[in-house]
Structure formats: C-alpha cells, structure tokens
Amino acid sequence: MTTFGYFLSSEEHDPKELVRQAKLAEEAGFEALWISDHFHPWLDEQGESSFVWSVIGAISQATSLPVTTAVTCPIIRIHPAIIAQAAATAQILLDGRFRLGVGTGEALNEHILGDQWPPAEERQRMLEEALDVIRELWTGELVTYHGEFYEVDTARLYSLPDQPPPIYVSGFGPKSVELAGRLGDGYIHTAPAADMVEAFHKAGGEGKPCAAGLKVCWAHDEAEGRKTVHRLWPNQGIPGEAAQLLPLPRHFEQLSQLVTEEAATQSTPCGPSPEAHLNAIREYVDAGFDEVYISQIGKDQEGFFEFYSTQILPRLRERH
C-alpha cells in the first residue's frame, strides 16, 4: 500500500506557515510529511529558508504525522555529531515517527562557513563516514572517533529515543544508489525512475522502503499554474550538475533566465485537471516507490488541499 505524503517547502514558506501546512496536510488526509533542509533558497524569489530542526520540533506538537528530512546534508555545514543529536531529539518529540533523510548536499548550502566544496566521490566517502559517526552516537555509548574526515572526542548522547530513527539515503547516480542500498534503511529520489529503484534493491535495499517527491501546481487554470512554476521554480529546468555546484541563489537566477516555461514545467502537473495530477503521481507508484510526497508550488495551499482531499487522494487509494 503506497503512502501519500505532503512535501513542505522550506525554501518557499516561513516557519509558521510550514507548521500550518503540516496541520492542513493531516486534515486533508495526507499520511506523512517531507521537509526540505536548506540554508539558502534556490532563488531569491522563493524567499525563505528556516532552520529545519526548530520547525520539526514545532510540527511534532501540531500533528501526528511521520516526518522525514528531504534531505539533510550531514557532512560540511553541520558536523554529523550534531546531526545525531538533532535527529535523536526529533525522534523523541515525534514519538518514533522521525526519519533522517540524508544526502551529499549542494554547494548552495554547504559553502557558507568557508569550507572547500569537495568533488562528488569525496562527498560520498564523507557521507559514509558521517553515518558511522551518527550511528555510533545513537548507541548511547561514550564515543571517540578518528576518521578520515571527522573527529569526535569523548562524546555521548544522553537524550535518546527507544529506537533510533531510520536513515533514508538519497541517490541519483549509480555510485550514490549503491551507497544508499548498502548503508540506508530506505531510499530517496525525486523522479519516477524505476531503474534507480531496481539498482537500490540490487545494492542491498531489497525490502527497504523507497520514497520520492514531486512538485505540482494546482491552480484555477493551467496557464496560471505554469506561470507560477516558471516564476518560483525555473531552476528545476536546469540540467546537469549545476544544482550541486553553484554557491548562491543569484547564480541559479542567472542560469534560470535560459529556462523556458516549457522546460520549467515539463515534469510538473499544473492546473485543475485531476487526471494530470493523478497520472504524474501514478508514474511514481508504477516505478516502485512505496512513499510519494507531493509539494504544492505557490501560495494557494487551501485550494490545493481541498482539491487533493476531494479529488486526488480518494482516487489514488481506490487503486491501492
């Protein structure tokens, strides 16, 4: 049975609004939450980027839904020992409903303390070592760790949940998917890629959950929705590795000037047609994802939740 959740966009909405949307999502019938973890938005037009751990604490007291970070980068901006403490606290506050989603991050968020931005293979080694640190600290034992990238000196976590949170690992290429299958308790992706699900299973992920997210834009007409997407998320039409390499929102804005409305909305259902939304979501289900998270682009959250509660979620569940 597929889980259908809501994807909270920390880049678009202030922290109080994110908590409000979490409550609206639960009322509308969504079963779980994703929340993005950024220091900067992708574009100044998006306009927000709050500290995700504070927001998770507030959400834990406002809803009964599971929460997953999609995704946290525990390798540069925040030391993995601190992520271990933050995630353990979130798991306690959420009564065991927290999942730590991790990935190798983007220069956009990770360069801010002046650290060098490493190449992809090095970041993958850093992530593997970071997960070792996190899991060792979750044992509650006194930890001293001397690794290639991280040092921990006689550290112990005292506030620990009954069970540590599962760690979901994102992966978009063969090496990162192999790492996710080998080390993750689950897998995260952002496209309906059946080949990536299969690769994750072959790398050791068989029987582990696969989760994916997509953006939509419910609007009163398709043209209105397409304009909203092109204004707020043209960066999703930028191909290649730029998303991992560019350090500032203005750089994404500069490249986004080359992105047409068609390119920005190519994978984003827009407008009021139920079939457009249903078909996009079913691609993820058919690709083998166990959890699918939908994010509404723009300010009309009430219209979106009304639309999904009455016309989308019931029909998705009829099939499953």
Burial pattern 122-144, b for ≥16 Cβ within 10 A else e, equals ebbbbbbbbbebbebbbeeeebe
86/79 Cα distance (integer angstroms): 11
The full length of the chain comes to: 320
Does the domain formed by 3-318 have CATH 3.20.20.30?
yes
Q: Please name every residue paired with 8 in a beta bridge, in sequence order, or none if there are none.
A: 35
Token readout for 137 is 């600290």
Residue 320's pLDDT is 57
Cα 261 to the center of its chain, rounded Å: 24
- The CA-to-CA distance between both ends of the chain, in Å, stands at 6
Pair 236, 262: CB distance under 8 Å: no
Domain ranges of the chain: 3-318
Residue 319's pLDDT is 65
Residues that are catalytic: 38, 106
Residue 318's pLDDT is 87
Token readout for 166 is 């599962």
The H-or-E segment that residue 254 falls in is helix 249-256
Its pTM stands at 0.97
Q: Among candidates 276, 173, 165, 133, which has minimal Cα distance to 218? A: 276
10 Å CB burial of residue 247 (0-12, 13-18, 19+) is: middle
Collapsing DSSP states into helix, strand and coil, what is residue 6?
strand
E-only strand ranges, the chain: 3-8, 33-35, 67-69, 98-102, 143-146, 151-155, 167-170, 186-189, 210-216, 291-296
pLDDT by 10-residue block (mean), the chain, 320 residues: 97 98 98 98 98 98 98 98 98 98 98 96 98 98 98 98 98 96 98 98 97 98 98 95 96 97 97 98 98 98 98 89
